[in-house]
Amino acid sequence: MSDLFVQAKQAILATDKEKALEIAKRHLDAGGEPLEIISQGFVPGITEVGEQFGRGTLFLPELIMAAEAMMAVTDVLSAAMAESGQAGSATPAGSILVATVKGDVHDIGKGIAVAMFKANGYTVHDLGRDVEVGDIIDAAEKNGSRVIATSALLTTTMGEQKKLEETLKKSKLREKYVTLVAGAPVTQRWANRIGADIYAENAHTGVVRVSEKLMAG
C-alpha cells in the first residue's frame, strides 16, 4: 500500500484528478481504509502543493486544479467511510462551518481543512472565500453548525476573525459555538487575544482539537 500512497501524492502534485480518483478506487477495492490513504497520500500531496505555491514555484491555475482533485477524492473516500460506518464512530457527531474571511481570496488552506474534516466524518458547510462576518453567522444559525472555523491568509484580514468574536458576543451567540481560527499569519497568541476557542496551525491539528473540544463538551 505504501507505493499507492506515493502515487496518491504524485497525482495531486500533477493536478491529475482522474488519476487521483483511480488511485482512490484501487485503494478501496483492495480493502484499504479511506482515512489511511487520505492522511498518508493525498494530504501530503496537497500540503506540498501549498508549500510550492508559497515559494512561487507553482502558480494559481495549478493550485486550483490540485485543490479540485483533492476535493474530488475526498468526496469519494468520505462517502466510503459513511457507507462502512467509520465516519459515525471516528468523531463525535459534528457539523462545522468553514470560511475564508472578508477581503481574503486565498483558500488553499481552507480546502485542505475541508478535506480533512470530511474525511473524519464531519458535516462540512464550506462558504468559500471573501465572506462577510454577518453571512458566516447567518449560515451557522441556519445549518446548525456547532463549530465556526475561519481562515485569514493576510495580516490585513485577521481583524475579521476578531470581528466575528465580537459580533457573536453582541448577538449573545458566543456560547453556542466553538470557534477556530487559522491561516498563515494567525498564532495561538492571536487566538487568545481575540477569544477564539481553538488555534490550528494546520488541518490535521484543527481536526484533532475540534474533536477533543466537542468530546469534552
Q: How far apart are CA 93 and CA 33, in angstroms?
A: 20
Q: Say if residue 81 is in the same domain as residue 106.
A: no
Answer with the one of 89, 114, 145 that is the final residue of a domain.
89
* pLDDT value of position 27: 95
Q: Say if residue 123 is in the same domain as residue 196.
A: yes
Lowest average pLDDT, out of 1-10, 66-75, 84-93, 154-163, goes to 84-93
Q: Say if residue 127 is in the same domain as residue 202.
A: yes
Nearest to 182 by CA among 206, 166, 195, 200: 200
Answer with the one of 68, 89, 110 that is the final residue of a domain.
89
Q: Say if residue 109 is in the same domain as residue 195.
A: yes
Residue 168, number of CB atoms within 10 A of its CB: 21
In the predicted structure, residue 92 carries a pLDDT above the cut 60? no
In the predicted structure, residue 56 carries a pLDDT above the cut 80? yes
Q: Say if residue 27 is in the same domain as residue 7.
A: yes
Residue 80's pLDDT band (cuts 50, 70, 90)? confident
Lowest average pLDDT, out of 10-14, 15-19, 27-31, 84-88, goes to 84-88
* pLDDT value of position 119: 67
pLDDT: is 1 or 45 the higher one?
Answer: 45
pTM over 0.85: no
Mean pLDDT of all residues in 43-59 = 84
The answer to whether 199 touches 191, Cβ cutoff 8 Å, is yes
Q: Say if residue 38 is in the same domain as residue 125.
A: no
* pLDDT value of position 154: 86
Q: Say if residue 192 is in the same domain as residue 116.
A: yes
Answer with the one of 64, 89, 114 that is the final residue of a domain.
89
* pLDDT value of position 16: 97
Q: How far apart are CA 17 and CA 169, in angstroms?
A: 42
Q: How many domains, the chain?
A: 2
Residue 93's pLDDT band (cuts 50, 70, 90)? low
Q: How far apart are CA 212 and CA 192, in angstroms?
A: 18
Mean pLDDT of all residues in 8-12 = 96
Domain range for 64? 2-89
Q: Say if residue 82 is in the same domain as residue 95.
A: no
Cell readout for 112 is 485542505
Kindly report the CA angle at 182 between 176 and 185, in degrees rounded to 5?
A: 140
Cell readout for 140 is 451557522
CATH of the domain at 135: 3.40.50.280
